Amino acid sequence: NAGVTQTPKFQVLKTGQSMTLQCAQDMNHNSMYWYRQDPGMGLRLIYYSASEGTTDKGEVPNGYNVSRLNKREFSLRLESAAPSQTSVYFCASSETAGAGETQYFGPGTRLLVL
Amino acid sequence: AQSVTQLDSHVSVSEGTPVLLRCNYSSSYSPSLFWYVQHPNKGLQLLLKYTSAATLVKGINGFEAEFKKSETSFHLTKPSAHMSDAAEYFCVVSDPPRSFQKLVFGTGTRLLVSP
């Protein structure tokens, strides 16, 4: 039982390049999330998927797109990377999206945009 | 809107001494509150959570937190620090109850433990 896995662990991009961050969970959770973590700001929600087949914007969605490929997988795409997107990205999952549910986090992807 | 304030960006303790990490929240509803820990270069791990049951919540690794509505606080404590407790700790409040729970994270407190 690996929990939440993310690939890649590290990535360096040039401004304008595109990439997709992959996330998978093996806990049969319905809900999945993408966050970014910046120094001194805690985690901020980019997009979430409350259940398979649905996706919605979070607090900071500009410059990102997501795909809930199936129940297990939730990917985050940067179409044209910008230096402001340099951050650590975390994927998380929870059994449901209801109040009080525990979210389980992956190990993160460190992204540097030059 | 919900918010959470972690009152200290850094806390330094000696091994074997008590730990206190302070958190105040703002909520118009009965909130769900969480403490997560992040070790260096790792993801976040749940320490404990409060969801309107007992106000004193016990978590993993000897940590506990007390929900005090009158003080709008949810401070994290541990009687005796270990070196392995050195990490960043996040206090988190849940947005008002609705179909989707949005977590609002504090800015984190870095705990330093010296021998």
> Looking at the complex, does the CB of residue A101 fall below 8 Å from at least one CB of chain B?
yes
Expressed in angstroms, the distance from the first to the final Cα of chain A is: 36
Three-class SS of residue B64?
strand
Q: In terms of Cα–Cα distance, which of A46, A42, A2 is closest to A24?
A: A2
**Average pLDDT of the residues of chain B:** 90
Cβ-defined contact of A42 to B32 (cutoff 8 Å):
no
**What is the rounded CA–CA span in Å between residue A65 and residue A41?**
22
Task: Kindly report, residue by residue over A47-70, the tens digit of the pLDDT.
Answer: 999 999 999 999 899 999 999 989
What is the Cβ-side half-sphere exposure of residue A106, based on CA atoms within 13 angstroms? 30
The C-alpha of A73 sits at a distance from chain B's nearest C-alpha, in angstroms, of 18
Question: What pLDDT sits at residue B99?
Answer: 52
Distance from CA of A59 to the nearest CA of B (A): 10
Q: Which of the residues A44, A103, A104, A109 would you substitute to probe the B interface, choosing the one with the greatest number of B C-beta atoms within 10 Å?
A: A103
Residue B65 has pLDDT above 80, yes or no: yes
> Given pLDDT bands bounded at 50, 70 and 90, which one contains residue A35?
very high
Put simply, whether A100 touches B (Cβ < 8 Å) is: yes
pLDDT at position B51 is: 84
Cβ contacts of B42 on chain A, cutoff 8 Å? 107-108
Residues of A in contact with B27 (CB under 8 A): none
Is the model's pLDDT at A88 over the cut of 90? yes
Using one digit for the tens of pLDDT, what is the confidence trace for B87-114?
A: 999 999 887 655 567 788 999 999 999 9
Residue A87 at interface with chain B, using a CB cutoff of 8 Å: no
The CA distance from B38 to A108, in Å, is 11
Q: Dihedral sign for Cα B67, B73, B79, B82, please.
A: positive
Q: Of the given ranges (A50-54, A97-101, B55-59, B105-109), which has the lowest mean pLDDT?
A: A97-101
The rounded distance, in Å, linking the Cα atoms of A45 and B100 is: 13
Mean pLDDT check: name the lowest of A2-6, A15-19, A28-32, B27-31. Answer: B27-31
